[in-house]
Amino acid sequence: MTTGAYYLPPGLPAPAPNPDGLGAEFWEATARHELLVQRCNACQTFQWGPEFICHDCLAFDMGWHRVSGRGRIYSWERPWYPVHPALREGVPYIVVLVELPDAGNVRMVGNLLGDPKQEVSIGADVVAVFEDHDGAEPYTLVQWRLA
Ligand SMILES: [Zn+2]
């Protein structure tokens, strides 16, 4: 995606890794346009969002695994009410919960790019799109578009 072409209006808070560093590798990867999901080094179970402990085997041995960026829509909603002042001119928009089949079906939240009034189908195939934001503290959001 071209820098400066953002799905939501400017003025929203920028995402950031937790102060303890959890999630830093994810955000560094999105800047390289790579999608990482946390995976346990002990039992290979994927999980999302990032945690210090594996929810499956309780090991404190979490790593990161690069995934394809292909997913499918598990659920979605179309907000019409601006929950933040920056969204006053930005509604409606589409929020999708995307399931990643090549990462143990973990689910990530993002926006579905394109017409905010488009029909949305549960199970539709989507691919990750990396939305670069410039500024004093640049970051890259993971958005989704229909495959
Ligand atoms: Zn584990």
What are 68-118's pLDDT values in tens digits? 999 999 999 999 999 999 999 899 999 999 999 999 999 999 999 999 999
Question: Is residue 30 within a helix (H) or strand (E), and if so which, with residue range?
Answer: helix 24-31
Which of 83, 112, 86 shows the shortest CA–CA distance to 13? 86
Please give the distance, rounded to the nearest whole angstrom, from the Cα atom of residue 103 to the centre of ligand 1: 14
What's the pLDDT tens digit per position in 6-57?
A: 999 988 888 877 888 899 999 999 999 999 999 999 999 999 999 999 999 9
Per-residue pLDDT at 7: 93
Please give the distance, rounded to the nearest whole angstrom, from the Cα atom of residue 27 to the centre of ligand 1: 22
Residue whose tokens read 């920028």: 14
Please give the distance, rounded to the nearest whole angstrom, from the Cα atom of residue 102 to the centre of ligand 1: 17
Please give the distance, rounded to the nearest whole angstrom, from the Cα atom of residue 40 to the centre of ligand 1: 5
Please give the distance, rounded to the nearest whole angstrom, from the Cα atom of residue 63 to the centre of ligand 1: 10
Please give the distance, rounded to the nearest whole angstrom, from the Cα atom of residue 32 to the centre of ligand 1: 27
Please give the distance, rounded to the nearest whole angstrom, from the Cα atom of residue 53 to the centre of ligand 1: 8
Contact by Cβ (8 Å): 47, 40: yes
Contact by Cβ (8 Å): 27, 16: yes
- The contacts of residue 147 (CB under 8 Å, 6+ apart) are 70, 124, 125, 126, 127
Per-residue pLDDT at 134: 87
pTM of the shown model? 0.91
**Angle at 99 (CA atoms; ends 97, 100), nearest 5 degrees:** 140
Half-sphere exposure of 132 (CA within 13 A, CB side): 11
